[in-house]
Amino acid sequence: MNDERGFCAGSVILAFVLGGIVGAGVALLTAPQSGRETREKIKEFSDETRKKAAEYAGQVKDKFSTAVEEGKHYVEEKKSLISSAIDAGKEAFQKEKEKLAKS
């Protein structure tokens, strides 16, 4: 059946879910309540969603800031380590150069 018409189980389930969402939206708009009550419900829902989004954004910002600070400390630590290694290499090179010059 799904080969002949091009339908698969996933697309059928998706159609039912989308139909349910559209039905819920239509039910909200045609519910036996005044337009004022409907607008208040929509406003409350949008306010709650806005608050949750702001909280989530704040949490993400905090985590990002923490990660950036940890990254800075890590880079600074490795930078110091690499500088020390380069200085040690230069010193070793100079000593070997002096040994070869004396020979």
SS3 label, residue 1: coil
Q: What is the pTM of this model?
A: 0.43
Q: Which two tokens stand for residue 89?
A: 């290499």
pLDDT in the model for residue 86 = 92
> CB of 29 within 8 A of CB of 42?
no
Tens place of pLDDT per residue across the chain (103 aa): 444 555 676 677 777 777 877 777 777 777 777 778 877 877 887 788 888 888 888 888 888 889 889 989 998 888 888 998 999 999 999 999 888 888 6
Count the helices and strands in the chain (H runs, E runs). 3, 0
| Ranges of each domain in the chain | 1-32, 35-103
Residue 102: the pLDDT is 82
- Provide the pLDDT for residue 3: 47
